[in-house]
Structure 1
Amino acid sequence: MQAGTRALQVGVIVPVFNEADNVAPLLERLAEALRDYVWEVIFVDDSSPDGSAARVREFALMDPRVRCVQRVGRRGLSSAVVEGMLASAAPILAVVDGDMQHDESVLPRMIAKILSDEADLVIGTRYAGEGSMGDLDAKRASLSRAATWLTNTVIRTQVSDPMSGFFAVSRKAFEAALPNLSNVGFKIMLDLLASAPQPLRTAEIAYTFRPREAGESKLDAKVGQEFLVLLLEKIFGHILPVRFLMFAAVGSLGLLVHLAVLGLTLNVGGQDFRYAQTLAVVVAMTFNFIVNNALTYRDMQLRGWQFIRGLATFYAVCAVGAIGNVGVGEIVYDSSRMWVLAGIAGAAIGVVWNYATSSVLTWKRK
């Protein structure tokens, strides 16, 4: 299985999670599909508990074309693909999921279009020509089509399947888009299309989406949120960080929680204002922390003891933010006598402080 002495032509990136049983059949299919090319395959595994990385290394010992990048403490399909691409020196980079649902036999046609300089990015499409969703259940097929419509409407892509995870791209195009990539969610090709400094020349190759053979789906309940975050990043990211916008939105919900607890404690519980206000502040801060931990900072989500530590630091951060909120509000009110403006100014200072400081102290990148 030696690749020979010709220069490397294609690097195939395969993100995997709990897909140890797919490694052997996928390698067989890649070897057949790419027999006329000099290629390598890089499996990027987020420390799957089923031993996917160990399985890949078994083959890597016998075949130098097979490589493994194992990530510890990190999750995310897009970031996994980017790391795999950066680990390869190949001038053409192809992405194939480890779930065996993509048709590897069309890879030569995709690669040929880049080699002939017909396209920068070649997409395996399910929605054009003879492409098909295969036996995918009706609910997932409908969601996929809805996401495709939303993507084409918001980002104005000109391709039939912008949600495809099966594609080939030239290294030159990838490296040009790299500084602008969001690495958010699970659709790296959409990120590439939206991040390229110049519109990419695209081509499409139809294929039929296959049923899963082994492993587990990478889609979970929060994938929709990640998809929307990516769209927001591409729309507003040049103005404000999307994470900040999410943090502020959670803070707005926290304000409603605060008012609800304050009203109930005063009017139903019959407590004095100081007690009711204190309880409302603590409940709202706790609400904000839990929601931000689950959504805004999902990629750095705190668990176990780190959750308790993070909550304590978040309380401290918000307490200082509250002092700044009141102080700035009083200054604006004293100078303008406009209580609405004073309230907005104080709240703005509070949310900026809370976001900036909690990003450093509460949700710290490892």
Structure 2
Amino acid sequence: MSSAAPTLPARLTVVVPCYNERANVAPLIARLEAALRGIAWEAVFVDDNSPDGTAAAVREIAAHDPRIRCLRRVGRRGLSSAVIEGALSSSAEFVAVIDGDMQHDETRLKPMLAKLAAGEGDIAIGSRYVEGGGAAGLAGGFRQRLSRLGIRFAQLFLPAPVSDPMSGFFMMRRQRFEEIAPRLAGSGFKILLDLLFNARPPLRVVEIPFEFRARAFGESKLDALVLTQFAGLLIDRVLHGAVPLRFIAFAGVGLVGVGANLASLAVGRALGLGFALAQAIATVIAMGVNFQLNNTLTYRDQRLRGRRLWRGLALFMLFCGIGAVADLGIARTLYEDHNSLTVAGAAGAIVAVVWNYAISATLVWRAR
């Protein structure tokens, strides 16, 4: 690996969002150097405070190679926001995004750059699903089905046909990215879709085939929760941002909480408990379900762990418990008026969800 300083400013910035990718840092840089020979380039690794020492591995190389930079983020996570911060830190003419797991084919960066420099498109997307591409690196039938499901869903709403809107491998002019950046949601794991939805005028797309490789080290980040966030982003874009993405997630979690509340209430009553006691137990169960789902899904980028998890749970239960006192009064009054477990229980649960949302945003998962 060369340690000589580049003689020209970087023409291309390669943004590498990463989490727990220490073993892939040096091999990826070596591959970028081979693939981009003859081009003035730099790589910006945006690390979400990986516990495996990813940032330290990047900085060890950056100490003798000025083309390599590390942005270490503490207190926030998420691929989309990492890409935005990395791209906005660039002064190069072009910015590319490539995963830190080496599953993307870095040799396709040159053809992407050539297409954009020739004015053939506004964004070059590495596609697994055009002729010459392949998705063999998606391990297991479940992940392949998950990816295909996300693609079909996204294609229903895209402003222009794109064969692989789930791709995380693309390149565009930095100035165009900066124009779109203020309108991006900045959450979740599929920024490409966000870019395509928010570009005004729409981006002219050119797709470059590539073979999606099998992961050599680490674990894949693609799971059902990523697809759920992806669906939330689609809904957010279809609604033109009128409803915040987190609120959409909260609404989904709230529906599950309502179901948990009603089911628990019915079980309590079937066991002979009085309504007030059954509703109190059901409310606690619903709060526990809501906390876990919100921590796992809604606030995935701010997920609480270790001591902060228990502190957050305590705060959540304490302040939601205060709201639950009012919820019980509302539910009991409605039950006495209507003698309906469904109406009374649902009303109490809905009030709990609203209170939950306010507490969550201001106290439990507050930005730090």
TM-score, length basis structure 2: 0.85
Mean CA deviation greater in 62-71 or 234-243: 234-243
**Cα distance, 1:323–1:89 mapped onto 2, change above 3 Å:** same
Structure 2 stretches of 5 or more lacking a match? 333-341
Mean CA deviation greater in 56-65 or 128-137: 128-137
Structure 1 stretches of 5 or more lacking a match? 331-339
Which of 86, 98, 105 is the equivalent residue of 1:96? Answer: 98
> How far apart, CA to CA, are the structure 2 residues paired with 1:312 and 1:70?
30
> How far apart, CA to CA, are the structure 2 residues paired with 1:135 and 1:306?
36
> How far apart, CA to CA, are the structure 2 residues paired with 1:341 and 1:257?
15
1:30 corresponding residue in structure 2? 32
CA contact (8 A) 2:48 2:74 kept: yes
1:21 corresponding residue in structure 2? 23
Could you tell me how far 1:110 is from its partner in structure 2?
0.7
Could you tell me how far 1:162 is from its partner in structure 2?
1.1
Alignment of 1:282-321 (within 5 A): 282-319=284-321, 321=323
Could you tell me how far 1:342 is from its partner in structure 2?
11
Which of 138, 155, 158 is the equivalent residue of 1:155? Answer: 158
> How far apart, CA to CA, are the structure 1 residues paired with 2:313 and 2:85?
32
> How far apart, CA to CA, are the structure 2 residues paired with 1:266 and 1:342?
13
> Which amino acid counterpart does residue 217 of structure 1 have in structure 2?
S
1:197 corresponding residue in structure 2? 200
Which of 32, 51, 54 is the equivalent residue of 1:52? Answer: 54
> How far apart, CA to CA, are the structure 1 residues paired with 2:251 and 2:105?
43
1:70 corresponding residue in structure 2? 72
Which of 213, 216, 222 is the equivalent residue of 1:213? Answer: 216
> How far apart, CA to CA, are the structure 2 residues paired with 1:359 and 1:318?
13
> How far apart, CA to CA, are the structure 2 residues paired with 1:143 and 1:81?
23
**Cα distance, 1:163–1:327 mapped onto 2, change above 3 Å:** same
Could you tell me how far 1:319 is from its partner in structure 2?
4.5
> How far apart, CA to CA, are the structure 2 residues paired with 1:212 and 1:245?
33
1:131 corresponding residue in structure 2? 133
Deviations 1:42-67 (A, max 9, x none): 11222333332222222212211111
1:364 corresponding residue in structure 2? 366
CA contact (8 A) 1:317 1:358 kept: no
CA contact (8 A) 2:21 2:54 kept: yes
> How far apart, CA to CA, are the structure 1 residues paired with 2:254 and 2:144?
35
1:10 corresponding residue in structure 2? 12
Secondary structure at 1:222 match in 2: helix
CA contact (8 A) 2:121 2:205 kept: yes
1:84 corresponding residue in structure 2? 86
CA contact (8 A) 1:123 1:167 kept: yes
**Cα distance, 1:7–1:286 mapped onto 2, change above 3 Å:** closer
2:337 corresponding residue in structure 1? none
Could you tell me how far 1:81 is from its partner in structure 2?
1.7
**Cα distance, 1:351–1:10 mapped onto 2, change above 3 Å:** same
Secondary structure at 1:75 match in 2: coil
Q: Sequence identity of aligned pairs in percent?
A: 49
Count of aligned positions: 358
Could you tell me how far 1:223 is from its partner in structure 2?
1.9
Alignment of 1:312-351 (within 5 A): 312-319=314-321, 321=323, 351=353
RMSD over equivalenced CA pairs, Å: 3.1
2:237 corresponding residue in structure 1? 234
Could you tell me how far 1:348 is from its partner in structure 2?
6.4
Which of 180, 188, 192 is the equivalent residue of 2:191? Answer: 188
Which of 126, 149, 152 is the equivalent residue of 1:146? Answer: 149
Secondary structure at 1:63 match in 2: coil
> Which amino acid counterpart does residue 217 of structure 2 have in structure 1?
A
Deviations 1:168-227 (A, max 9, x none): 111122112211212222222122112223201111111222222333322245222222
**Cα distance, 1:288–1:217 mapped onto 2, change above 3 Å:** closer
Matched, 1:225 2:228: yes
Secondary structure at 1:215 match in 2: coil
CA contact (8 A) 2:136 2:212 kept: yes
CA contact (8 A) 1:324 1:350 kept: no
Deviations 1:80-130 (A, max 9, x none): 222211222112001122222222222112112222332221111111131
Secondary structure at 1:93 match in 2: strand
Matched, 1:267 2:250: no
Which of 257, 260, 263 is the equivalent residue of 2:260? Answer: 257
CA contact (8 A) 1:14 1:81 kept: yes
**Cα distance, 1:345–1:24 mapped onto 2, change above 3 Å:** closer
> How far apart, CA to CA, are the structure 1 residues paired with 2:236 and 2:327?
28
